[in-house]
């Protein structure tokens, strides 16, 4: 990946999330399952994208919406959040939207633990999952 990539769009798989990053339109979306065997490869592009992302105008709303998050993925998400925290501490307007299934208390607790450790504004949104059970 070119370090100056404006956009990254990676389709989700059975064990890796959708990754949609767009520098110009301030899009940051990571959603789905995250338990691939080589999770570093999955998130390497996100890390490189953030490393090349300097100051910006506007608000970067970062959407994290995991249905499954392995311990290795947890470590990568923490690294991503640390990079976002650094950007935030440098004056950029960033907010984390942590989305979780309304019945998934574990995923909510993961987000809450991140919010207690990382100096970033977090909002928590339960998603209606009734349609999953029809």
Is the entire prediction scored with pTM above 0.85? yes
Q: How confident is the model at residue 133 (pLDDT cuts 50, 70, 90)?
A: very low
Q: Which residue has the higher pLDDT, 55 or 99?
A: 99
Which phi and psi (to 5°) does residue 28 adopt? -145, 105
pLDDT mean across residues, the chain: 92
The pLDDT tens digits of the residues spanning 82-101 come to 999 999 999 999 999 999 99
Which phi and psi (to 5°) does residue 51 adopt? -60, -30
pLDDT given for residue 1 in this prediction: 44
Which phi and psi (to 5°) does residue 125 adopt? -130, 115
pLDDT given for residue 129 in this prediction: 62
Structural domain boundaries in the chain: 7-133
pLDDT given for residue 134 in this prediction: 44
């Amino acid at each position: 990946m070119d370090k100056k990539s404006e956009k990254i769009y990676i389709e989700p798989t059975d064990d890796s999330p959708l990754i949609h990053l767009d520098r110009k339109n301030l899009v940051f979306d990571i959603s789905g399952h995250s338990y691939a065997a080589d999770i570093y490869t999955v998130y390497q592009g996100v890390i490189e994208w953030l490393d090349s992302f300097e100051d910006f105008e506007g608000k970067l709303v970062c959407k994290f919406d995991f249905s499954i998050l392995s311990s290795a993925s947890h470590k990568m998400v923490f690294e991503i959040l640390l990079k976002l925290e650094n950007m935030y501490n440098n004056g950029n307007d960033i907010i984390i939207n942590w989305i979780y299934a309304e019945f998934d208390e574990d995923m909510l607790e993961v987000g809450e633990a991140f919010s207690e450790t990382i100096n970033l504004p977090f909002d928590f949104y339960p998603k209606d999952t009734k349609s999953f059970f029809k």
